[in-house]
Chain A
Amino acid sequence: MSDNLHYFATATQRWAVALPTRLDALIADWEHLRTAMIRRMPSDFSRDEWAYLISFLDGDNLMRPFVEAFGKPTANPESGCDALARPRGTVAVWLPSNVSLLGPLTLILLSLTGNRVRLKASARGNDLTAAFLGFASENLLPGTLRNYISERVALDQFDRHDPRNEELSQDASCRIVFGSDEAANADIRLPHRADSSVYIFSDRRSEAWIEPAIVSDNVVETLIKVFAIYGSAGCTSPSRVVLLDGSEADARQLRDRVVAAWSRIVRRQPAIHLASQNVMTRQWAAALGWDATSTLHNAAVIAVGSTDLPRPTGLMFLPIVAASRDDAVQQLPANIQTIGHAVGNPSDAAWLKMFAPTPVKRFVPLGRMHHFGATWDGWEFWRGMFETMTVES
């Protein structure tokens, strides 16, 4: 019997959530770790990544999934609850094969659900989840979170052909798969329980949509920051900028502002290989017809062109195009995930009408494009980590 029932209520429903630990103690421990993180950063992480993890561990942010799923915390309602939510059991997570913050972020969110978590990292390359767990084990005091991690979290590193994949899949009540379409398809076909649920986070693309009248130094700075973190390698990075109802002159003006501001915003010098690749990308873009410019030290290539031009693939290539709203919608890639906006009125119902027939998963301010949450790629996956028992009196 769980001693840790937590109560929440929306306007229409009263919830009891059964967790294996006290939620307030767990969140307090995460916040304690956050304090240690402010003091020291492991070398595995970039400054941007570490700063984002620190902000993610804010107590209010950790409570948000509960509030969104079950309502505000309340005392034990005298009139009883309408439903009980309990962890589904074991969650298996296939982490992305490249270095990604998604592992640590998913782990943090899953820790709040009380489920057992088994994470599978790629056999090749570094893995930030292992680095983060290592930091946590060094810095957490004995207590709720430390116990949870040691007793209920396991991380293994093996390749996609390893027989342990099958075992991982078979044991899981929930499966979360990050990876390319090909890898995700292979993982979800592994033997699994008939009643298990699966959430697939595979190849995605995102865009930044900006109204020319809204362009300011702040917008330029934000655009540079969200793009510079991962370049085009991030599923939530802008793979292109669309200037809504703008002109090519507007696009060129924005390109020039981005190029001029880049070195002020991104102070690190790119690695030699990256600088070299960017020389290639600029030339490739130009050969294809883009008006492409390199930022200082070949840190990135910012280009202007028409919407029908083929795009070079380059880690730090950011194309800017001018398009009508209708054309922008028509040209959305099938795997669109996030649209980061800098528009006059993002609450206008016209946006919802525009996006209703599209596969867009998120419409968020430019600066929040990378913000991970309990709803991802259109799935309320965090809520899916609980099963529901309905209660009627």
Chain B
Amino acid sequence: MSARIKLRVRQALVGACLMSAAGIAGAEYGLNLRQGVTPIAQGAYSLHMLILWVCVAIGVVVFGAMFYSIINHRKSKGAVAAQFHESTAIEIVWTIIPFLILIGMAIPATKALIAMEDTSNSDISIKVTGYQWKWQYEYLGEDVGFFSTLSTPKAEIFNQEAKNEHYLLEVDNPVVVPIGKKVRLLITANDVIHAWWVPDLGMKKDAIPGFVNEMWFKIDRAGTYRGQCAELCGKDHGFMPIVVIAKEQADYDKWLAEQKQSASAASADSNRVFSKDELIARGEKVYTANCAACHQANGEGIPGTFKPLKGSPIATGPAADHLSRVLKGKDGTAMAAFGPQLSDADIAAVVTYERNSWGNNMGDVVQPTDVKAAR
């Protein structure tokens, strides 16, 4: 390569670097941090931009000096090495200047942090509980609560169908909140550590068993905001999304009233007597939503990790033991207690389904009233 071509290449490289630096600033290409829809997220975004530009500026100076030196102070150009070294004055200067820059960053960061951690004077409190692998939301003081699980069909995940626009970022029951209200989340977990994160809301918090963490957000505009569990929580960590729908206050009130109504309808099921076919049909749905992630749709589990139900001593043993295992779980394993998670009718249905599927042929039926008695 001639010297001129080398220079061209260098110019092109420098140009490419500058262009990519400019590109970083353009959020429209999906290159930058999302600006979000809450004051917290916007605060984080402007801090992010501040630090980014400070880094770019320092980078231009440092890399500028480095590349100037690489280009000009090379032996092939006849450069003769100077022998200067050690200068306490210079060392002090380049210790103090970065220190001052850091103070300049620390002040806005401290302000932002204090605002983020202030969960006082909230309008609504929602308790969020992480499970392997779903989220539970309970609206405190409203008697409304539900589980939220991934609704993307398995066929899309296994590439048998085209993936939809919200692939892996869609749930059966989204969280609904009013806009312009300070919503406080009380976050905990039931089994392992999870983390609740919706990028547009600007904050993530770990959901830790035995702890209740707090975070808050106030959403400016109505819309649907999507996020995911952010802390590795096992096999389906990538498959427990979060969907928040922010509505006008009136729409939110309407939604809340509907939720209360359907909750009371569900509790009526606790006293009904179901036919075996009804229970098995309902049980299959409950199984798919709650059990199949570990025990698999075919009931065979995953060897060494998750026990099979097909032909298992529990599922083909006394119904009372089977029911108790589903209600109370098993300590020290991934088998959670489903008593607090599912209704009497759902538990009755799923136990009946498990006892009469995949070649398990117990023929018996567990009714919601049995579940109520066993709780």
Tell whether A and B belong to one assembly.
no
